Amino acid sequence: MKKVVFLTGAGMSVESGLSTFRGSGGMWNEYKIEDVASIEGYERNPALVLEFYNKRRQELLTVAPNEGHRLIAELEKHNEVVVVTQNVDDLHERAGSTNVIHLHGELMKATSTDSPNNLSYVRTLNQENLEIKIGDKADDGSQLRPYIVWFGEAVPMMEDAVLALRDADAFVIIGTSLNVYPAAGLLNYAPAGIPIYLIDPNDVQPYLPARIKVIKSGASEGMKSLFALLSGEH
């Protein structure tokens, strides 16, 4: 069974109704990245940061996986599939993907401010219990915070992502500008000789390695055109 590893970014969820971060209409035009997505921003104004992620969580409840998410999940019938995602939404899981590595954390989870990567303090939020407020405590007694990897923090899941890619037969990148490291650096761990596809409807970075086959379309269209090839169904 062939192994396919995906790396997805904000563009994966655009057709579900979520915004990208960069470019026109991107989230970082409306909010300052250093205010809401950095550890310094959280230390400066935790209430603002909690509110930002409370809003993102509300928004997530109003959207659903798109055809691209569904096709990636369906590929599990034919292939071993690992989805490495920079997205903090749960749309891959809701579409049915069973092996998802979240490099930048998960919106529907909360953790301890003092030990954010101690999994015993990570708890899952739900529709009835959606917001994190100042004064909410993790089990270690420190302020509860979003389970999000902010700029300035370590990316502990990177090691699992690198391991997953090591024996892949194909690598598919969807909807990421490849601007943020270490996630973008995953490209360097693709085994020599395996096909690498990049699905994005917009112009991609000009200095990408020549071996990458660019499919200039949205996530759903791109996945439709790749599905037969990846699954071995012709």
Q: Total residues contacting ligand OAD (rule CB under 6 A)?
A: 29
Q: Which of 4, 75, 81, 86 binds ligand OAD (CB under 6 A)?
A: 86
Which CB atom, from 180 or from 214, has the smaller least distance to ligand OAD?
Answer: 180
Minimum gap (Å) between residue 141 Cβ and ligand OAD:
26
Judged by CB under 6 A, the stretch of 20-28, 91-99, 123-131, 132-140 that binds ligand OAD is 20-28
Which CB atom, from 74 or from 200, has the smaller least distance to ligand OAD?
Answer: 200
Residue 112 pairs in a beta bridge with: 144
Q: Which of residues 24-53 bind ligand OAD (CB under 6 A)?
A: 26, 33, 37
Q: Is 104 considered catalytic here? A: yes
Nearest to 119 by CA among 143, 133, 100, 138: 138
Binding mask 195-234 for ligand OAD (x = CB under 6 A): ----xxxx---------------xx---------------
Residue 13 found at the interface with ligand OAD (CB under 6 A):
no
Alpha carbon distances (Å) from 133 to 46, 47, 120: 9, 7, 20
Residue 69 found at the interface with ligand OAD (CB under 6 A):
no
Minimum gap (Å) between residue 217 Cβ and ligand OAD:
7
Q: Which of residues 178-197 bind ligand OAD (CB under 6 A)?
A: 179-180
Q: 10 Å Cβ neighbour count for 212?
A: 16
Of these residues, 78, 92, 104, 234, which one is catalytic? 104
User: Would you name the residues annotated as active-site residues?
Assistant: 104
Residues that bind ligand OAD (CB under 6 A): 9-11, 14-15, 20-23, 26, 33, 37, 86, 104, 149-151, 174-177, 179-180, 199-202, 218-219
